[in-house]
Structure 1
Amino acid sequence: MLKQHKDFIQIVKKQIKDDERFMGILAGGSMINNTMDQFSDLDLILVYDAIFQDDIMMNRLQIASRFGRLLSGFTGEHVGEPRLLICLYNAPILHVDLKFVTIEEVKDGVEKPLVVWQRNSSLSQLLSEIKYSFPFPDIQWVEDRFWVWIHYGATKLGRGEFFEVVDFLSFLRGTVIGPLVLMKNNSLPRGVRRIEEDAPDFIEELEKTVAIHEKESCYNAIKSTISLYLNLRRDYEIEIQIKSEAQQESIKYLEEVYREI
């Protein structure tokens, strides 16, 4: 952890200690596995007494402004987490995610957080009793959808919506390919996060799934995505129902579309 991170945490601790509404501070993200660098943001969980819920949720920006020079802050509905306040501070510039939760909501996470500060031992006791489990993709869920998604990509290719194809391929990397590659390399399936570091043996294949705004590039990237998925799927084929006809027909359609444009 760098000085800018440590200094910010110290300010938060000082402010929260003096606020009786709060019961503790937890840390998530890269602090959990000690992988922070100068580009890391801070993921802090501010645990409060539920009787103050309305007051705290209405005044989160005001609370966040006590921690430093707040340039901007907004809530996290776009990532499905309205309790989250995403903040950008200055002097030094720093991205900080502040999640405001009651002690009853602490159990909702997917990884065991670190205790940064607590008013008493209740947080540590609670964390020792919870079994956190990081969500891994359901391979059948993926297989059921993958070929429908490939057909969708082919329709956009046929229409000449190349920007849509580029977006679509990015979605497939983050939702399907990246997680499966990371799992194969014994890493947590966090989309494509740190994939260059955690799966260097797949970089060349992953590069082929990246398209530019051009017909040939988009077609080849879709084909490379299919090829990589089939390679990764082999590890699970005895466990799932393969959608063979959907696979055959969606690939056939892609080829037909490509020949016609």
Structure 2
Amino acid sequence: MLKQHEEFVQNLIRQIQDDERFVGVLAAGSMAKNSMDQFSDLDLILVYLPTFKTDIMRNRLHIASQFGHLLSGFTGEHVGEPRLLICLYHGPLHVDFKFVTMEEINDGVETPIVVWQRDSSLEQLLNQIQFSYPLPDVQWIEDRFWVWVHYAATKLGRGELFEVISFLSFVRETVLGPLILMQHNSLPNGVRKIERHAPELIEELEETVPVHEKESCYNTIKSSISLYLYLRRYYESDIQIKLEAQQVSIKYLEEVYEEM
């Protein structure tokens, strides 16, 4: 752990161990994996007694302000996690706090480590839980992918190129990146650290990144389709291929391009 991160964590422990509402602090992310670098944020889980739930959830920003010079903080409804508090401290240092009760710990998707605990009950609980990161549902992707291709083609035909660019970013985050990372036995978390885990496919991914120009948008849609078909082949025996949807959507994309 780097000095800035370590100093923050130690100060947090000093503050929280005197607060009867809390029973422990866990760490997830790169701290749990012992892979932190100078650009890492801190992912901390603050475990509290359920009796204090209303009080803690109402006063999370105030609690976070006691751990350092808090510049700004906000809750995580935009990522579907209202228990999350995303903070920026002077340094600057990014810290994500998740406030949970003991009963909510098993909602996590990766195994955390104990940073501090009031007694051994927290560690004992962690030893009983099997955490697992959710893998992409390839059938879910296949059911949607060709509808998405048709959508992109309509926006290309209309000249809404920024919408096409946004769509292709969505495809990399939701489809291509996770499938690539899964093939490399890495957490299928969008395109996070994909340069490190799949360097041999970076050139193919680069070909899915367009500029604001019709020809580029068309070519990158095609490249996204090609890369998806390459990745899909690992799962074709286990899913229902939407072959007709695939053929119709690709044909429509070509027709739109020919009329441009």
TM-score > 0.5, shorter chain as reference: yes
Matches within 5 A, 1:90-109: 90=90, 92-109=91-108
Structure 1 residues 105-120: aligned runs within 5 Å: 105-120=104-119
Q: Work out the CA distance in 2 between the residues paired with 1:64 and 1:255.
A: 54
> Alpha-carbon deviation of 1:201?
0.5
Shift of 1:228: 0.3
Are residues 1:58 and 2:55 paired? no
The number of aligned residues is: 260
Instruction: Give the secondary-structure state (helix, strand or coil) at the position aligned to 2:33.
Output: coil
**How far apart are the structure 1 equivalents of 2:34 and 2:164?**
37
1:230 partnered with 2:242: no
**Structure 1, residues 79-128: CA drift from partner, whole Å, max 9, x if none?**
000000000000x2100001111111011001110100000011101000
Q: Distance in 1 between matches of 2:188 and 2:214?
A: 31
In structure 2, what residue type is equivalent to 1:7? Answer: E
Counterpart in 2 of 1:73?
73
Map Cα deviations across residues 142-195 of structure 1 (whole Å, 9 max, x no partner): 100100011111111111010111110000000000011111222121110000
1:204 is matched with 203
Structure 2 CA distance for aligned equivalents of residues 161 and 34 of structure 1: 44
Please tell me the residue identity of whatever aligns with 2:46.
L
Partner of 2:46: 46
Q: Which residue of structure 1 aligns with residue 84 of structure 2?
A: 84
1:260 Cα deviation from its structure 2 partner: 1.0
2:86 partner SS = strand
TM-score where L is the length of structure 1: 0.99
The residue aligned with 1:36 is 36
1:123-142 to 2 correspondences below 5 Å = 123-142=122-141
Q: What is the aligned-residue identity percentage?
A: 72
Looking at structure 1, the residues matched to 75 and 18 of structure 2 have their Cα atoms a distance apart, in angstroms, of 24
What letter corresponds to residue 56 of structure 1 in structure 2? I
Query: How far is 1:32 from its partner?
Result: 1.9
Secondary structure (helix, strand or coil) at the match of 2:233 reads helix
Q: Quote the residue 1:144 is aligned against.
A: 143
Q: Any residues of structure 2 matched to 1:9-28 within 5 Å, and which?
A: 9-28=9-28
Q: Tell me which amino acid in the other structure corresponds to 2:59.
A: N
Distance in 2 between residues matched to 1:107 and 1:180, nearest whole Å: 25
1:146-225 alignment to 2 at 5 Å?
A: 146-225=145-224
User: Which whole-Å CA distance do the structure 2 matches of 1:187 and 1:60 have between them?
Assistant: 33
Q: Distance in 2 between matches of 1:159 and 1:35?
A: 46
State which drifts further: 179-188 or 215-224.
Answer: 179-188
Uncovered stretches (5+) of structure 2, i.e. residues with no partner: none
CA–CA distance in structure 1, aligned partners of residues 116 and 192 of structure 2: 28
Instruction: Look up the equivalent residue of 2:213 and give its one-letter code.
Output: E
Distance 2:156 2:196 in 1: 32
CA RMSD of aligned residues (A): 0.6
